[in-house]
Each structure stands twice: as C-alpha cells, then as structure tokens.
Structure 1
Amino acid sequence: MADDTAAEALPSLTGSSAEPFTDGYVGDPAVRDEWDNRYSERHRLWSGQPNGALVAEVADLAPGRALDVGCGEGADAIWLARAGWDVTALEVSGVALARAAAHARDAGADVRWVHAGLAEAALPPASFDLVSAQYPALLRTPDAAAEHALLAAVAPGGVLLLVHHAGMEEHHPDHHTEPQDNAFDPAAYVWPSMVAALLGDDWRIEVDEERPRVVPEGGAGAHHTDDVVLRARRLR
C-alpha cells in the first residue's frame, strides 16, 4: 500500500466531494479551454457508467489509494470510491470537475479532486496503489512527460492500468473530410505502446492485449468496439 502521508503532499488545489474543489488550475490554459468548450457543448458528455475494462481489471485488487487520470464527469472515480478506494481524480476541465463533484455528492462518494494536467500536477511520487487512465487524451512531448508521470505515480507493488481505443494509434487524419484545425492526429497523443516501451525490469506486464470493449449506453465514444488494455505492476 502507498504511504498514508501521501495525501498530505497533494497539491493545494484539491478538494473533497463534500465541498467543491478549489479552482487553481495548473497546466496549459489552451488544453483546459479546449476541454471546457467540449464539455459545455453537452449537458452530459459521457455515459455516467464506469468503464468496463476498469471494473474487470480491478476485481482482484485490494482497495488502496487510487489515481484516476482524466476523470471526466467522475463515473470511474465514484465507482472506485464506493468500492472502498481512497480516490484522487485529476482532470483538466473545470466544467467536467464541477459535474463530477456534484455526481459524487449525490452518490455519497468521497473523492479528492485535482484541477491540473498530469505532467503539471506535482503529484507525490510512488504514492498510488492503482493509477487508472481510461482513454486519456495525453499530449506527447519530446521528454515523454506524461508517460513518465504515469509511471512515477505508481507505488511499489501497485498497478498501472492504461486503456485506449484499439486502432486509433494507426488512424490517419483525413483532411478531405475534416477541417485542418479539427483533424485528429494520433501522433500528437500518448498510446499504451509508448508507455509499455518505457517499462524496465522493475515492472511486470500482467496484461497487454486488444479485446472487445464493454460499450456503455450513450455518451461520446460509444462507436468504439475494441480496447487496448495495458496492466503493469511496479515491483519495486
């Protein structure tokens, strides 16, 4: 299990679901604004249900301290909290976090919210028994900052669970059907294979596979039918 003092080292911009998180965003304002705009376009962007790969992969894990990277409207974080995990949930969109905190209050779930980018959040290192990143939109950088931040957050004995849509890494932007500014470029984002390539002998890969996705009803992304699932345990 992670050190119980780790929560004390979390950024001061955190809050609990019993009181709204304090907005002290740390990260790229352009990324925050992009996601705030996307969430603002719809009353609810996602299904409100926990991701199927998360539910399946944590079934055999004893609850401890969990980090939910890119928590969106909070479904995964709330599910983990109600299952006994001590949850910290990180998100760049303040619009999404406000919804997540409200949903958590309604569900009676206690979650610690962090309004920040992953690389900028200054999370306490090696402090989480589970780091879950479900379909994260993590931007690539020359120094692989997001990838290293994911790995650094996992406590010895803990698990990194990274899930993404299968086939997206090989997707090529179609500038004939998509405006240049909106064309999705997979080369700009972090994919499970990139994180797996950084794992050294202090990690053991437990799952690295493509599988059919448990598709929730409603919500963006429901058209994706297959997942890439990477589950790795930090040995020391």
Structure 2
Amino acid sequence: MSTHDDRTAQEFWEAHYEEREHIWSGRVNAQLPGILAGVTPGRALDLGCGEGGDAVWLAENGWQVTAVDIAETAIGRAEFAAEARGVRDRITFERHDLSDTFPQGTFDLISAQFLHSTVRLERPQILRTAASAVVPGGLLVVVDHAAPPPFSKKVPHDHPFPSPEEVLADLDLATEEWERVRVEVVDRDGTGPDGEPFTWRDNVMVLRRRA
C-alpha cells in the first residue's frame, strides 16, 4: 500500500491517538455481533484493536482474546476499557506493526475490522498470514470500507477501497480449503460530524477454514 506520510506507521498512529482523549466510540464494530451470532466462543485474534471496543465485546461474550495494535497509546486505552468492564483477564494485549510482525499461535476467529491505513500497511500479506493462523473450522472475518465517508478530509484521493472480490483475489486462498460463508457489500446508516445522515458501505467477508 502506498505511503502518504513521512512518519513511520507507529509515529503516525501514535500522533493520531494523541489528537483526542478518545478516537472511537468504545462500542463493538457494527457488523461483528451479527456475524458471530450463534458461533461458539474460543480463541480470537483482533487485528488493529484500537481502543478495544471489539476486544472487550468479544471477551464479554466468552472469547479468550489476543488484541494487537501498532500504537502504545491505543493499547493503553484498550487495557483501561477492559479493566473497567471486568474482562482484563480474558484479553492479552500485544503491540505489533503487523506489516513486520504477527502474533504467535492459532485461533478460532481472526477479525480484521476496518484495517485501513494511509501509511504503510501490507494488508494482503497481513491477511494471508492471518488466514494461515486460523484453525480448521475457524473463521477469518474481514470488514472494511467500500468507499470513504463523504465528509472525510484525511483520506488521500488515491487511497484504494477494493471490492470484496478484489480483496479475496489478493488473498488467493485455496477454494478447497476455504468456504465463503458471506461475501457482500452491506449498507448501514451513519451520522456525520455535523449530525448529517449518510450511508456507510461496508465490505463484509466471512470465510471458514474447512475442517
């Protein structure tokens, strides 16, 4: 992915989190509860955990979670949220620049929710590595933006927003090893910074590794 900033990826994201006391809502990402409805909890890996909304929700719903982010500031906030909600013992936090290092182990669920960046992020490589760490019968869940929000001023004009099929083509996973549980574009309602309504378009990709 192209780099649009002279800072390292870690410097960029540390500065981003230091802009405000809280960047994200603290709630679980919108698509994840529906995707996991009826799925038996096990070991989960949350890629790019941010301030911990997904990791905490997963832990509250019975998952044992490894949550990773590039920014120490984000991890500190996520740890605080986990402690406040009584699930700190169910989450292991690790700092990784996923373009260079990846958590050890295998997982029943690997979740990449809106793993976008305008600085270096080797996304296809990261998602291929993630796929290799999913146990037979486990899920790889990727949700990302199909397009930027209309009010965004921070996304460079050449920042890619690939379709679900383009994402999966980049991953090049063997069809005999992976089942497409759900691959689609989903619309959801959103509210802009000035209260104006708009429609998010999410790419939703749910793949199950065949047993």
Q: Is TM more than 0.5 here?
A: yes
Mapping for residues 20-169 of structure 1, pairs under 5 Å: 30-110=8-88, 111-124=91-104, 127-137=106-116, 139=120, 141=122, 144-168=124-148
% same residue = 33
Q: Which consecutive aligned stretches of 4+ in structure 1 deviate over 6 angstroms post-superposition?
A: none
8 Å contact from structure 1 (residues 53, 214) kept in 2:
no
Unaligned 5+ segments in structure 1 are 1-28, 172-177
TM-score after normalising by structure 2:
0.80
Q: Kindly indicate whether structure 1 or structure 2 has the higher relative contact order, using CA contacts under 8 Å at least 6 residues apart.
A: 1
- TM superposition shift of 1:224: 5.7
Alpha-carbon separation, structure 2, partners of 1:206 and 1:34: 35
8 Å contact from structure 1 (residues 123, 153) kept in 2:
no
The alignment status of 1:199 with 2:199, answered yes or no, reads no
TM-score after normalising by structure 1:
0.72
Equivalent AA in structure 2 for residue 39 of structure 1: Y
Equivalent AA in structure 2 for residue 186 of structure 1: H
- TM superposition shift of 1:191: 6.7
Which string of whole-angstrom CA distances, capped at 9 and with x for unpartnered residues, describes residues 31-89 of structure 1? 11100000100111011110110111011210000000000000100000010000000
The alignment status of 1:234 with 2:209, answered yes or no, reads yes
Superposition CA RMSD, Å: 2.9
Larger fraction in strand: 2
Alpha-carbon separation, structure 1, partners of 2:13 and 2:23: 11
Q: 1:49 to 1:120 in 2, by over 3 A?
A: same
Equivalent AA in structure 2 for residue 57 of structure 1: I
Q: 1:190 to 1:85 in 2, by over 3 A?
A: farther
Alpha-carbon separation, structure 1, partners of 2:27 and 2:58: 12
Alpha-carbon separation, structure 1, partners of 2:92 and 2:103: 12
Alpha-carbon separation, structure 2, partners of 1:30 and 1:55: 33
Alpha-carbon separation, structure 2, partners of 1:49 and 1:165: 18
SS at match of 2:10: helix
Q: 1:214 to 1:58 in 2, by over 3 A?
A: farther
8 Å contact from structure 2 (residues 190, 200) kept in 1:
yes
